[in-house]
Amino acid sequence: MSETSAPSPTGAALIAEYVKDLPDRPGVYRMIGDTGEVLYVGKAKSLKKRVANYAKPGGHNERIARMIAATKAMLFVTTASESEALLLEANLIKRLKPHYNILLRDDKSFADILLRQDHDFPQVLKHRGAKSVKGDYFGPFASTVAVNNTLDTLQRAFLLRTCTDSVFASRTRPCLLYQIKRCAAPCVGRISKGDYGKLIDEAERFLTGKSRALQDIYRQQMEAAATALDFEAATVLRDRIKALYHVQSTQGINPAGFEEADLFALFSEGGHSCIQVFFFRAGQNWGNQPYFPRHTADAEPADILAAFIGQFYDERTPPTLILASHPVGDRALLTEALSSRADAKVAIVTPERGEKRVIVEMALNNAREQLGRRMAENAAQRELLGKLAEAFGLDAPPQRIEVYDNSHIQGTNAVGGMIVAGPNGFEKGEYRKFNIKSVEPTPGDDFAMMHEVLTRRFAHLATDDDAEAKRPDLVLIDGGPGQLAAVLGVFADLGIEGVGLAAISKGAERDAGFEHFHLPGKPAFRLSPKDPVLYYLQRLRDEAHRFAIGSHRQKRAKAIGVNPLDEIAGIGPARKRALLSHFGSAREVAGASLADIAGVEGVSQALAEKIYGFFHPDRRPE
């Protein structure tokens, strides 16, 4: 008689087993599903007490009950404090994207304006990323438009240079920016170092909120210049005043009662939300950005804002004042955690009256209008996907469309690109590039490249159950019957079924609007030039082409920058410089004799033989 082992506990029974060994300490817990995916990440002041609530037989809403039933394992991390647990929770949610958490989506890095201080004539430029360059940083700016407008003002008002140091050093005459009065041309001596330094000082005053005082000073100077009949100087000052006034008039909301703050305005409707984030620095509005967090329909505003703000500052330093349109859940704990991150006291305030409330109401109106537009666009997108399903004979509107294109120059630096689209538009976080590596395709052999890309993409789909969550409903190929046949061969080899497949090719004249569509087992057909489905498919094709071309250019640029000397062990930057300085190029090093290489300063006989052997593996040193 055979013995059968008892099934492993799941759901509430499994959680109850974990509770027995949990400490009464702060920490973070993860609930894991059947295929290893993270269902939920939570924090707790006491792991034992918090997790024990999930082990109770009842009292949970439908969403929590489903989550508990789907739990097959749990992971725990203890922390020194509850605020530390909150920060870790926010980091894990952003990284793991659990299905049952409120999730910040479309997270972007924001740009700063950098006034460099490592040059006699400082450059002004837009900067993203680590603040490793010596200089003064002003930001963040919430949008590209906001930072570009401010940079434009800095050029028009203060004539600061934007060119790189190498361009600056190589100029022999002023560039076009000098001619259109956007640069003082310090590169060719049209302004002294001292006078340029004054322009830098005035730009810093503008960026620190002293633009109105500057306008008053410029107005007095302009009147004095006009009185002295120095009309050229008066014109320059007039243009500066106009530039400063322009940026003030286009900023919209400008506070008088506070210098620095981030504002979060939440508007929810129909189970969807928009959070408008405004940045105020130096008493100026430096732009806003809408976000659409993922959450359940019954999520409370306090919980949405708490989760969103925690994730938003996961990798950012918060300002000392945060304004919120609604009371924020766990406000005291979140304040403590953000103060620790900022190394300064942070206040989270929900204003009820005064100037701050007026500004919050304006931001709320922005959030309401943005959500309305988003929902209208989504409704139109769903209708469009329904019409696409009819045109291609799909059983239902596709929720995930994958579009593929290849890019290469005569078979070199070949790259395949995949973009993803769905009911919410382009899903740029899902884009993938494929470096063609199994074969070096002959020029124009797009079929072999497409075969490799689709094989690599769908091989794990055929064997990995977890990958089913990203199974496409429709695959669109840029090409004709040949590319379609290549993909059909991949699907047949891997046993892929239930995925719609189509190819799009340009007409005989290769004009937009005359595309032919190819479906398996059906004759090619065209859509009406005015059909919105055709326009949508063109956008998908063009986005895939743009992404593939961009990936190819990056790979080509990287290949151009590769120097074969980098591959030889024992050659560091100093010896590389010495070799290139002596011979002029890596090509000349490759053609040099052993004696010539050994004659380079810093290159020993043994290293010279290694270099010679690298370039001439089948020849004995002469």
pLDDT tens, 506-555? 765 545 567 889 999 899 898 888 888 888 888 888 888 888 887 656 65
Please report, for the domain that includes residue 477, its CATH number: 3.30.420.340
Q: What is the pLDDT of residues 561-606, one digit of tens each?
A: 556 776 676 787 788 878 877 777 777 788 788 888 888 888 888 8
The answer to whether residue 209 is domain-embedded is yes
91 and 125 share one domain: no
State residue 78's pLDDT score.
93
> How many separate domains does the chain show?
5
Q: What is the pLDDT of residues 144-201, one digit of tens each?
A: 777 887 788 778 878 889 888 888 888 888 888 888 888 989 999 999 999 898 888 8
Provide the token pair at 369.
């209008």
The answer to whether residue 2 is domain-embedded is no
221 and 270 share one domain: no
What's the mean pLDDT in 39-49? 93
Whole-angstrom Cα distance, residue 408 to residue 397?
A: 33
State residue 441's pLDDT score.
47
What's the mean pLDDT in 203-220? 72
Backbone CA torsion sign across 121, 126, 132, 136: positive
Residue with tokens 């294109």: 405
Highest mean pLDDT: which range of 141-150, 154-163, 208-217, 380-389 = 380-389
540 and 575 share one domain: no
The answer to whether residue 379 is domain-embedded is no
Residue with tokens 């925690």: 310
Which residues make Cβ contacts (< 8 Å) with residue 620, sequence separation at least 6?
none
State residue 617's pLDDT score.
62
Residue with tokens 């019409």: 387
Confidence of residue 479 (pLDDT cuts 50, 70, 90): confident
SS3 content of the chain, % helix, strand, coil (to 5): 45, 20, 35
What's the mean pLDDT in 40-54? 93
Among 249, 280, 295, the domain-final residue is: 249
Burial (Cβ within 10 Å: 0-12, 13-18, ≥19) of residue 399: middle
Whole-angstrom Cα distance, residue 490 to residue 494?
A: 6
**Least reliable range by pLDDT among 278-287, 397-406, 469-478:** 278-287
548 and 425 share one domain: yes
Give residue 194's domain range: 111-249
Whole-angstrom Cα distance, residue 460 to residue 474?
A: 17
Please report, for the domain that includes residue 608, its CATH number: 1.10.150.20
CB 33 within 8 A of CB 14: no
State residue 6's pLDDT score.
45
State residue 413's pLDDT score.
60
Please report, for the domain that includes residue 351, its CATH number: 3.30.420.10
SS3 state at 417: strand
The more confident residue out of 364 and 233 is 364
Amino acid in the structure at residue 187: C
pLDDT at 225 over 60: yes
167 and 202 share one domain: yes
State residue 1's pLDDT score.
35
The answer to whether residue 132 is domain-embedded is yes
135 and 242 share one domain: yes
What's the mean pLDDT in 617-622? 55
DSSP string across 195-246 = HHHHHHHHHHHHHTT-HHHHHHHHHHHHHHHHHTT-HHHHHHHHHHHHHHHH
What's the mean pLDDT in 446-456? 80
Residues 80-103 as b or e (16 or more Cβ within 10 Å = b): eebbbbbbbbbbbbbebbbbbbbb
Whole-angstrom Cα distance, residue 496 to residue 491?
A: 5
What is the percentage of the chain residues whose pLDDT exceeds 70?
A: 86
**Least reliable range by pLDDT among 154-168, 181-195, 208-222, 381-395:** 208-222
160 and 203 share one domain: yes
146 and 235 share one domain: yes
Q: What is the pLDDT of residues 309-349, one digit of tens each?
A: 999 998 888 999 999 999 999 899 999 999 998 889 999 99
What's the mean pLDDT in 444-449? 70
191 and 245 share one domain: yes
Alpha helices by DSSP H, listed for 98-207, are: 144-158, 165-170, 176-179, 193-207
Closest CA to 83 of 41, 27, 30: 27
State residue 3's pLDDT score.
43
Q: What is the CA radius of gyration of the chain?
A: 31
Please report, for the domain that includes residue 16, its CATH number: 3.40.1440.10
The answer to whether residue 255 is domain-embedded is no
The answer to whether residue 6 is domain-embedded is no
* Whether the predicted model's global pTM rises above the 0.75 cut: no
The more confident residue out of 596 and 30 is 30
Which residues make Cβ contacts (< 8 Å) with residue 320, sequence separation at least 6?
260, 261, 342, 344, 345, 346, 347
Among 61, 96, 131, the domain-final residue is: 96
pLDDT at 462 over 50: yes
593 and 525 share one domain: no
Confidence of residue 48 (pLDDT cuts 50, 70, 90): very high
Element (H, E) at 379: helix 354-392
* Kind of pairing between the strands at 261-269 and 38-44: unpaired
Closest CA to 504 of 536, 532, 530: 536
Strand arrangement of the beta sheet that strand 124-127 belongs to: 124-127, 111-116, 135-141
**Least reliable range by pLDDT among 154-158, 249-253, 394-398, 430-434:** 249-253
Which residues make Cβ contacts (< 8 Å) with residue 369, sequence separation at least 6?
none
pLDDT at 619 over 60: no
412 and 531 share one domain: yes
Residues in the chain: 622
Confidence of residue 2 (pLDDT cuts 50, 70, 90): very low
Using alpha carbons, list the distances in angstroms from residue 212 to 149, 355, 488, 490.
18, 20, 67, 66
266 and 366 share one domain: yes
The answer to whether residue 314 is domain-embedded is yes
The answer to whether residue 439 is domain-embedded is yes
The more confident residue out of 610 and 312 is 312
Among 372, 389, 413, the domain-final residue is: 372
Confidence of residue 4 (pLDDT cuts 50, 70, 90): very low
